[in-house]
Structure 1
């Protein structure tokens, strides 16, 4: 427990509670938004204008491959989000502890930016990259007959990638993923805290539990800036992850991929899939924070009340 400048007690929520809150939010997000992620991936991999837009892409997948195709890659996606948010929330909390002012118990804006970036880099290397390689390989497959598909499921996909491309094949596109996630989380954690304070007068650790809709508004707003800023990294990441090294490799790395896409397809191609990203990430952050804030807020409220009762 610490006190801020007004003398109000603030609770320090342990990292494991934030990890649990994030993982629960990730499960709900994955279940709701998987079709949008499938559409985003198909649009980013579309080099010949097969799809004329989001609705056309979604309807084409539905009409030619069935409803289940819109949830392709759900198992690795849900597992990926659950582990990712647990690691993101937990590591961010641990990193923030290094920037906490001992007198006020608060974290500076710089501390939030550094902590968020560090959490993003960690999740990108440990969880996001290998899971997204598997997810994208599954999502790019067209068709519904499993015997005609190269990858028959997430485990088979991972084994095939390792056999054909080596263990590091699961880390294809790691560089743009690190840049994307690090920047995203630096902005997201800082913005989320700022919106909570400005909109709802909610300070971290004050024991106040926001209404779910309030958390969702803050999460939605915090999740909008990242996709716009990191669009090129996301497109390059998808292209690098999708190409199999058992075939001719088109892109040799992050910068080479960016140059090729710019020269061959134009500047706007570096933001392909931006609209479905904006359809997925801000609502996804709204869902995650709507769940996570309830868990964290209830813990803080119980912690403060419990501590106060013993004073």
Structure 2
């Protein structure tokens, strides 16, 4: 069992995360506004679609780096033979661990970003200051549970599917997949996972955008889902599903492709330098 290049995983994950978050930020803004309780146009419509981008820029590198460092480390710790039927379980556990760690960085960035996206006239730093003044540190972690409850099912679908598709493609062509092939697998896995976890994303958005002190702001995911179901039905639970699928499919293509490419390059440089 060879120890993977953890430094390469950290840097590659950070580069991939920052790339995808900044490239696809407008789609994320549209999705957030579609899920906003005041409605798409009142939340800003197509105006100021880069509102909140400083928060995403600051949080994306360390967030993705923390995820992939944890993901690769847990995969290494849970080593099994590549033909083992336990491989999907290993990938699921590694992805879950990665999400729990990454969300410690992601959630504060996401809270500030989403509030900026539905209030384009407010500056990111002002929103950050207001949250700290009115709610303290816990305000920055509002929606942590709902984010983890969204990300874990998402990762349970996306990462085992990504790894399976890569293994299947490698087997069919009798050599390891190229980075662009890994990216295609990532796009399919991401889009599918995005579709089935959209209701959890809607609940997370409502909790993060809720007025401080309201029942929704308490962070109960089931309560938030029931509220959306009662007011908007199935359409409300899947609000923003198409921009979410488009964003995450493209994101999966860029994110996982860039991760594989950057990691391979860094490992190659490390081997040549040693």
State the TM-score bracket (shorter-chain normalisation): 0.7 to 0.9
Q: How does 1:171-186 map to 2 (within 5 A)?
A: 171-186=141-156
Q: How does 1:123-134 map to 2 (within 5 A)?
A: 123-124=102-103, 126-134=104-112
Q: How does 1:1-311 map to 2 (within 5 A)?
A: 2=1, 12-48=3-39, 50=41, 60-62=45-47, 69-101=48-80, 108-124=87-103, 126-143=104-121, 149=122, 152-153=123-124, 155-201=125-171, 210=178, 212-245=179-212, 248-250=214-216, 252=218, 253-301=220-268
Q: Which moved more, 1:294-303 or 1:168-177?
A: 294-303
Aligned length: 271
1:23 to partner: Cα distance: 0.7
Task: Call closer, same or farther: CA 1:14–1:243 in 2, change over 3 Å.
Answer: same
1:177 to partner: Cα distance: 0.5
Larger Rg: 1
Q: Gaps (5+ residues) in structure 2?
A: none
TM-score by length of 2: 0.88
Indicate if the aligned counterparts of 1:120 and 1:184 stay in contact, CA closer than 8 A.
no
In 2, the alpha carbon distance for the partners of 1:118 and 1:245 equals: 30
In 2, the alpha carbon distance for the partners of 1:167 and 1:25 equals: 28
In 2, the alpha carbon distance for the partners of 1:48 and 1:159 equals: 25
TM-align CA RMSD: 2.8
Q: Gaps (5+ residues) in structure 1?
A: 3-10, 52-56, 63-68, 144-148
Deviations 1:24-46 (A, max 9, x none): 11222122111001100110005
1:299 to partner: Cα distance: 4.1
Indicate if the aligned counterparts of 2:5 and 2:267 stay in contact, CA closer than 8 A.
no
TM-score by length of 1: 0.78
In 2, the alpha carbon distance for the partners of 1:239 and 1:300 equals: 42
